Structure 1
């Protein structure tokens, strides 16, 4: 039995053991990284050395442009491929030139805790680097094609630098990216990365970007977390139909994370098949909706709960026939701008407009109703015209609201012409009532005068003396 075990060991187990690396497995995790204790002694003339406990690995420390070149030579770190993992600590370089032939044969390349302003050059084609760690160096800029040839790249660590943009790297394949602690990183650059679903982020919770200069999203320098930026990306990707959904502004409340308000553009200029109704549901916190140039006939969808934050509605050039659906909606309490130009509105419910508190919001409210042809009558002249004249500064296009049945602008309507029949009848009633009151007053005065004459002179004046006696006269006698 022992003989059989010996044969099995010699034929199977021993060869397998001989293939196992003799280095410390702790050397390689995701990337090759060594602590300061692994550096050459402070007095060593050669600032690079290969590590005895890590197979085909080396470390360089406290180098500049010249001592790095010397260290690679005296440390026997060359382009022959014998060293596949290299960690350079505390390098002080104005520029890091990555065209060096040594880098081409590395699988793990780590340069950390240094002072490097810029990365120049371009990794050579067929460079096999799979993990590149350039964190904590203060790097401000990469040349455009520096990393594009790293086709084996699976992990890229650019954290703790001063980058404003994510440098270009391989266009296909999964890559784990760490860009945390880059205070000047612009969201516009990070947003481009989010369009690649195979890219994942390391240290996502501590990764933020500056909202300044990002597609004119926000006029601020507030920082957005990657989670918020992902929401923006999902917002654009899952927008209603052919509409476009974009952030409109950044809302900041003390003690809370910034949130963004949304703008939805469904203008029919871009559509072959125009909308016939308002889009529902709207994305969360939508404050602006543009549905101009469509075939929408009603505003009834404004009562949908997803419209609760809406404050700007632009619905010009549609077929909307009434503003009645606005009544009782949250929009009427919150809106700052409502534009219904060039629709099919024939009647304006003045009572609805009269309930608007124009100074309730932070910004002055405005309503546009121009190019609608109303059916003008006495009510239009007496109610809507009067309202319009008192709110001219809130209705910028008041001069373009015209009548359908007569050739006139609403603000120029003449009440005496439109309300002529009703006004004359009312005047006659007033005249009759006035005459009756006067006659009653005269009659009372005459009776009082006759009574006074009768009591003082003993006779009745004319015509009371000529009137026949009535059955009730005995009451007076």
Structure 2
């Protein structure tokens, strides 16, 4: 029995030693591997000194590397160096490439045309082809491709199918840095991290569209190395006279300053870059959209350089913040359709009236529309507004003023003036009849005519008396009896004249 126990203990010790040795060997094998968690922001990547040693043509330029993703589940990667178009597939096969391989890094490859539509890539989680020469990318990755991290950096890449990654529903991380591309490919909505550093030929407008493509705030596109990434502000981009290199940090709006409340949130997007003079710093302008948020007042704080604000479909009653709130001082376009705004008098003489491009208060509760309120001081002589004004859907009090002045002003300044109706009649403002709206009362008119007739008769009588006195004096050298008995006053000398 003792012998059996000793043998059992011996076998147990040997078994444990085998496990310990195996673990140490695996760690020794992977000591040069870079360990990344599954959610890492970087793809599987090896340094150049770790390239397989190829002493003759029979040696495989690829090798298998085992590494741990989370210290529990082992992963298998393949690392290759110095491949070309002819040896790409065979080199992967000599490294026992199979469905169990999840990560590949190919360094210093010379590939004329890289076909990404082949099925052998679809089970990978990470694919990196770096520091080589890829003339163009052919085809598109299939929509069942599981790659979440794609690194094509430093390959002098300039040509690709614009949709080559559009169907990659798992792709979260894309590195296109240090290439020669002049346009961005179409992204899938899953992409959250992009690296385009080391280039200055991508138009800023395309990057702006990529930033604004996501309408939600749960997954926004972020840029790696954004402090060193620049874009080209081409001549066809508004505000710039010549092409310039602009840091993309200027294109990224500070979403943390976007207006929000307990039960509502506005959407803020980048609009344009503005450079007033060559010596003046460039700044970005922002669009803020607070529509359909059940707001009862305008947002109290807007991001710096907000020029467009939309607050339609709310319950806002006043627009005083446009004049009184400092964060509104750059506002140029204001849209507040379908609200409860009843007056615009606060805008008279304001900075906004002097500078606005568009002002829309369609379907509100305006009771009157004073024309002088929206006319800047510099335009007073022409009676024209500075920008586009939309006021359709309001019902105002129609009177003589509306018929004589507002009607004509609408025709010149308000494109939707035909949609402004009267609250006290069924007429539209543009259909008002001046003779009807400004007609005087008949009896009052008769009294006025009588007064005018009496005044004319009195004037004729006085002139006749004066002429008679003159004639009588010339004939008899004395005034008529009636004029002589008139009492004298101290001011008579003012009216005396000598014949």
Map of 1:303 onto structure 2: 323
Deviations 1:384-442 (A, max 9, x none): 62353255221334455554445655531326525767766666665565555544444
- Does the alignment pair 1:328 with 2:342? no
Map of 1:115 onto structure 2: 134
Map of 2:439 onto structure 1: 417
Q: Residues 243 and 264 of structure 1 are in contact (CA less than 8 Å); yes or no, is this contact kept in structure 2?
A: no
* Runs (5+) with no aligned partner, structure 1: 1-14
Deviations 1:227-254 (A, max 9, x none): 3443175577859964653548424426
Structure 1 residue corresponding to 2:196, chosen from 179, 190, 202: 179
Give the 3 Å change call, closer, same or farther, for CA 223–439 of structure 1 in structure 2. farther
Give the 3 Å change call, closer, same or farther, for CA 429–225 of structure 1 in structure 2. farther
Structure 1 residue corresponding to 2:178, chosen from 160, 165, 170: 160
| Equivalence map 1:257-276=2 (5 Å) | 257=282, 259-266=284-291, 270=292, 274-276=294-296
Q: Residues 375 and 385 of structure 2 are in contact (CA less than 8 Å); yes or no, is this contact kept in structure 1?
A: no
Structure 2 residue corresponding to 1:446, chosen from 452, 468, 471: 468
Question: What is the alpha-carbon distance in structure 1 between the residues aligned to residue 46 and residue 113 of structure 2?
Answer: 24
Q: Residues 218 and 248 of structure 1 are in contact (CA less than 8 Å); yes or no, is this contact kept in structure 2?
A: no
- Which stretch shows the higher mean deviation, 340-349 or 318-327? 340-349
Give the 3 Å change call, closer, same or farther, for CA 204–299 of structure 1 in structure 2. closer
| Equivalence map 1:278-293=2 (5 Å) | 278-293=298-313
Q: Residues 267 and 288 of structure 2 are in contact (CA less than 8 Å); yes or no, is this contact kept in structure 1?
A: yes
Give the 3 Å change call, closer, same or farther, for CA 348–243 of structure 1 in structure 2. same
TM-superposed CA distance for 1:344, in Å, is 3.8
Map of 2:114 onto structure 1: 95
- Does the alignment pair 1:32 with 2:55? no
Question: What is the alpha-carbon distance in structure 2 between the residues aligned to residue 316 and residue 372 of structure 1?
Answer: 14
- Does the alignment pair 1:202 with 2:224? yes
Q: Secondary structure at the match of 2:86?
A: helix
TM-superposed CA distance for 1:117, in Å, is 1.9
Q: Residues 32 and 108 of structure 1 are in contact (CA less than 8 Å); yes or no, is this contact kept in structure 2?
A: no
Question: What is the alpha-carbon distance in structure 2 between the residues aligned to residue 399 and residue 132 of structure 1?
Answer: 57
Deviations 1:234-282 (A, max 9, x none): 577859964653548424426454623425352xxx46xx443334334
| Equivalence map 1:333-352=2 (5 Å) | 333-349=354-370, 351-352=372-373
Give the 3 Å change call, closer, same or farther, for CA 367–465 of structure 1 in structure 2. same
Q: Secondary structure at the match of 2:439?
A: helix
Map of 2:153 onto structure 1: 135
Q: Residues 186 and 211 of structure 1 are in contact (CA less than 8 Å); yes or no, is this contact kept in structure 2?
A: no
Q: Residues 248 and 261 of structure 1 are in contact (CA less than 8 Å); yes or no, is this contact kept in structure 2?
A: yes
TM-superposed CA distance for 1:94, in Å, is 0.8
Question: What is the alpha-carbon distance in structure 2 between the residues aligned to residue 130 and residue 316 of structure 1?
Answer: 43
TM-superposed CA distance for 1:347, in Å, is 4.0
* TM-score in terms of structure 1 length: 0.63
Deviations 1:299-340 (A, max 9, x none): 333323233333344444444333322223322222344444
Question: What is the alpha-carbon distance in structure 1 between the residues aligned to residue 225 and residue 469 of structure 2?
Answer: 106
Map of 2:70 onto structure 1: none
Q: Secondary structure at the match of 1:66?
A: coil
Question: What is the alpha-carbon distance in structure 1 between the residues aligned to residue 386 and residue 438 of structure 2?
Answer: 38
TM-superposed CA distance for 1:37, in Å, is 11
Structure 2 residue corresponding to 1:227, chosen from 227, 244, 249: 249
TM-superposed CA distance for 1:374, in Å, is 0.4
TM-superposed CA distance for 1:444, in Å, is 3.6
Question: What is the alpha-carbon distance in structure 2 between the residues aligned to residue 188 and residue 229 of structure 1?
Answer: 10
Question: What is the alpha-carbon distance in structure 2 between the residues aligned to residue 261 and residue 441 of structure 1?
Answer: 77
Deviations 1:191-237 (A, max 9, x none): 5689566986432124356899xxxx999999975434431755778
- Which stretch shows the higher mean deviation, 100-109 or 162-171? 100-109
Question: What is the alpha-carbon distance in structure 1 between the residues aligned to residue 475 and residue 364 of structure 2?
Answer: 76
Q: Residues 240 and 282 of structure 1 are in contact (CA less than 8 Å); yes or no, is this contact kept in structure 2?
A: no
TM-superposed CA distance for 1:114, in Å, is 0.7
Tell me how large the CA RMSD over aligned residues is.
5.8
* Runs (5+) with no aligned partner, structure 2: 1-20, 37-41, 68-76
Map of 1:10 onto structure 2: none
